[in-house]
Structure 1
Amino acid sequence: MSRARIARWLIVIPMAALALATVYPLVFTANVASKTRHEYVLDRFSAAESLRWDNFEAAWSSAGMARYFLNSVVVVAAAVALLLLVGSMAGFALSQLRFRGSRALFLGCLAALFIPFQVIMVPLARTMGQTGLIDTYPGLVLAYTAQFLPFTVFLMTSYYTGIPAEIIDAARIDGNSVYGVYRRIMLPLGRPALLSVGILNALFCWNDVLIALLVMPSAEHRTLMVGVTSLRGQYSADIPTFAAGVLIAALPVLLLYLFFQRQITAGVTVGSTKG
C-alpha cells in the first residue's frame, strides 16, 4: 500500500468515527421517540417496531412545546435582526471611519469575547430586575444582543476591513452621506458575512438555556430549550415523549445547518481572510 493511500486512510478513519459519534445520538433519540413506554422498558436499544407519532403529538400539545417553539421563534428572530443591524453598523464604523478611540473600542469588543456569561449573570439579573425587563420578550432580546454582539462586531469589522477604501471614497465623492455609504455600499458587499453571522447567532440564541432560564423564569414565557429541560422532570417516566421533545427542538437547528452549511463556511472564511 502506497504512502498516499495510508495517509488518506489515517484521515478517513478518524473522520468516519467522528461522524458516527455525531450521528448515532440523533439516530438513537429518533428510535426511542418512535417507541412506546412498554417497548422502551423492555429494550431501549432495540429498533422500534414502527414509526409512531403519538409521542410527538404529546410533546407538541400536552407538554406545551408549541408555545415554547413560538416563544423561541419570536425571540430569536428579533435578537438576530437587532444583532445584524447594530453589528453591521459598528463593523462599518470601526473598519472604515477613523475617529478617536476606535482602536480601543474594537479591542474592548474583542476582550468581551473572553468573558464567560457566568461572570456577568448576577449583575445582569439585578440590572434587568431593576429596569423591569425580567420575564419579558424585550428583556431576553436585549440579553441575547448584549451577549453575542462582541462576536458580531468582531466578524463584521474583520470583513469590512478588507473592502478597499477607494470604494468608500468614490461613494462619498458621488454625494453619499455616511448613512448612504452604509446602506448602498456596505450592506450589499457585506451579505456573505451578514448571512454567516446571522445564522451563527440564530444557532447560539436557539440553543441557549442559561440566559433564557435566568431572564424568563415563568412557564408561559419559556423558550424551547428551557421547555425541553423541564420535560425531563415532567416526563421522567415517559422517556419516549421526552425524546420526541428533544427531536422537535433539534430539528430546526439541524435543517438550518443542512441548508446553509456552505454559506456559513464561506462567510466565516471570507470574513477571516479579509481581516
Structure 2
Amino acid sequence: MIVSARETWLGRALLVVLMLVTVLPFVSLFVTALHEPGTYPGGLSWPEDPHWENFVLAFQSADMFQLLWSSVLIELGVVPFAVLIATLAGFALGHLAPRGGRIVFIVFLLGLTLPFEGIIVPLYYQMRDLGLLNTRWAIILPLVGLFMPFAVTWMRAHFVNMPQDISEAARVDGATTWQLFWRIHVPLSLPALSSLAILLFLWTWNQFLLAVVLVDDPAKRTMAGALGAFQGQWGTDIPLLCAGSLLILTPTLIVFLVFQRQFVAALLQGSLKG
C-alpha cells in the first residue's frame, strides 16, 4: 500500500497535535508550580523569579518519604500476587482449555464492566466487617480482586495464541503441567507479564477512590490518595499544590519511560499473533 506525501504529513501533523494536547497540562502544572507560594497564576506565564524551592517545600509538607514507603508496600501487596493469579488463570483458560472454561471467561469479561464507583459502598461495609478499615489491606485486597477481570483476560489472550506444538513436544518428553507452565510458557510470556505488571503498577499507584474512602490515615494511603489530604492543607496555595501533584506523578512517568520497550513489545507481539 502506497501512502502519499499528503497523507504522511497529515498523519505527522495529527501526532504533533495529540502530543501537544497530552503534554500541555504537564507544562501548565510545571510552570504554575514555579510561581510564588500563595499566588494565583494565570495562563502559562513564566515567573520572573522561579521558586524551585516549592518542590522541596511540597515534598517536606506532604512527608513524601512516608507516602512513598506506603505506596511501595501497597504495590508489593498488589502487583506480584495479581500477576501470579492472573498468569495461572490465563494459562488454564487460554491453553489448557478446561471444561466450563468459556463460561468462566465470560464471567471475567462481565467483570470488566464493573466500575469501582459502583461497588465502593458495599466494599466499605465488607472491609468494616472484616476489621480492615484504615489499614493497607483495605486497599490491597480489593485491588487484587478488581484487577482480576482485566489481568486474566490479558493473560488468556496471550496463552490462547501460544502454539500447541510446543506443549505437545514437552508432553512427549515427559513434562508435567506445572513444568510446562513454569519452564516453557512463563519464559515465553515475559513481554506480556512485564506489560501487565507495568499497567497494574500504574493503576495501583494512581488509585485514589479506594484509598480515600477505605483509609482515613493519609500515611497509609497511596501517594495519589494522600493528595486529598495535601489538597486539604494547601488547597488555597495553587503553586504548592501543583508541585505536590508533579512529585506524585514523577514515579509513574519514570517507570513507564524505563519499561516502555517491554510494554510496546507485548502490544506488538499480540498484534502480530492476532
Please report the TM-score for the alignment, with normalisation by the length of structure 1: 0.91
Equivalence map 1:2-151=2 (5 Å): 4-37=4-37, 40-41=39-40, 45-151=44-150
Q: 1:261 is matched with which residue? A: 260
In the TM superposition, what is the alpha-carbon distance from 1:273 to its structure 2 partner? 4.9
Q: Which moved more, 1:207-216 or 1:85-94?
A: 207-216
Once superposed, which parts of structure 1, at least 4 consecutive aligned residues long, lie more than 6 Å away?
none
Structure 2 unpaired stretches of 5+:
none
Distance 1:272 1:147 in 2: 26
Judged with a 3 Å threshold, the aligned counterparts in structure 2 of structure 1 residues 47 and 164 are, in CA distance, closer, same or farther, namely same
Equivalence map 1:235-254=2 (5 Å): 235-254=234-253
In the TM superposition, what is the alpha-carbon distance from 1:44 to its structure 2 partner? 5.9
Q: 1:195 is matched with which residue? A: 194
Q: 1:175 is matched with which residue? A: 174
1:230 aligns with 2:229: yes
Judged with a 3 Å threshold, the aligned counterparts in structure 2 of structure 1 residues 42 and 225 are, in CA distance, closer, same or farther, namely closer
Q: CA RMSD in A?
A: 2.1
Distance 1:102 1:42 in 2: 57
Amino acid at match of 2:94: S
Distance 2:185 2:222 in 1: 34
Q: Which moved more, 1:3-12 or 1:187-196?
A: 3-12
Judged with a 3 Å threshold, the aligned counterparts in structure 2 of structure 1 residues 42 and 71 are, in CA distance, closer, same or farther, namely closer
In the TM superposition, what is the alpha-carbon distance from 1:269 to its structure 2 partner? 3.4
Q: Tell me, what secondary structure is at the counterpart of 2:93? A: helix
Determine if contact 2:136/2:221 at 8 Å carries over to the other structure.
no
Aligned length: 272
Q: Tell me, what secondary structure is at the counterpart of 1:220? A: helix
In the TM superposition, what is the alpha-carbon distance from 1:268 to its structure 2 partner? 2.6
Determine if contact 1:34/1:48 at 8 Å carries over to the other structure.
yes
Distance 2:174 2:99 in 1: 25
Distance 1:50 1:182 in 2: 59
Amino acid at match of 1:10: L
Q: Which moved more, 1:50-59 or 1:192-201?
A: 50-59
Q: Tell me, what secondary structure is at the counterpart of 2:236? A: coil
Judged with a 3 Å threshold, the aligned counterparts in structure 2 of structure 1 residues 147 and 42 are, in CA distance, closer, same or farther, namely closer
Determine if contact 1:159/1:272 at 8 Å carries over to the other structure.
no
Distance 2:268 2:215 in 1: 35
Q: Which moved more, 1:265-274 or 1:254-263?
A: 265-274
Q: Tell me, what secondary structure is at the counterpart of 1:119? A: helix
Identity of aligned residues (%): 35
Distance 1:24 1:14 in 2: 15
Distance 2:10 2:270 in 1: 31
Distance 2:93 2:246 in 1: 41
Distance 1:70 1:208 in 2: 15
Q: Tell me, what secondary structure is at the counterpart of 1:217? A: coil
Judged with a 3 Å threshold, the aligned counterparts in structure 2 of structure 1 residues 16 and 169 are, in CA distance, closer, same or farther, namely same
In the TM superposition, what is the alpha-carbon distance from 1:43 to its structure 2 partner? 5.6
Determine if contact 1:68/1:221 at 8 Å carries over to the other structure.
yes
In the TM superposition, what is the alpha-carbon distance from 1:16 to its structure 2 partner? 1.5
Q: 1:154 is matched with which residue? A: 153
Q: Which moved more, 1:192-201 or 1:63-72?
A: 63-72
Residues 3-53 of structure 1, C-alpha deviations (whole Å, 9 max, x = no match): 933323322223212211211211121122222226x44766321335544
Residues 72-116 of structure 1, C-alpha deviations (whole Å, 9 max, x = no match): 121123211011100100011111223221111111111111111
In the TM superposition, what is the alpha-carbon distance from 1:197 to its structure 2 partner? 0.7
Please report the TM-score for the alignment, with normalisation by the length of structure 2: 0.91
Judged with a 3 Å threshold, the aligned counterparts in structure 2 of structure 1 residues 183 and 31 are, in CA distance, closer, same or farther, namely same
Judged with a 3 Å threshold, the aligned counterparts in structure 2 of structure 1 residues 263 and 180 are, in CA distance, closer, same or farther, namely same
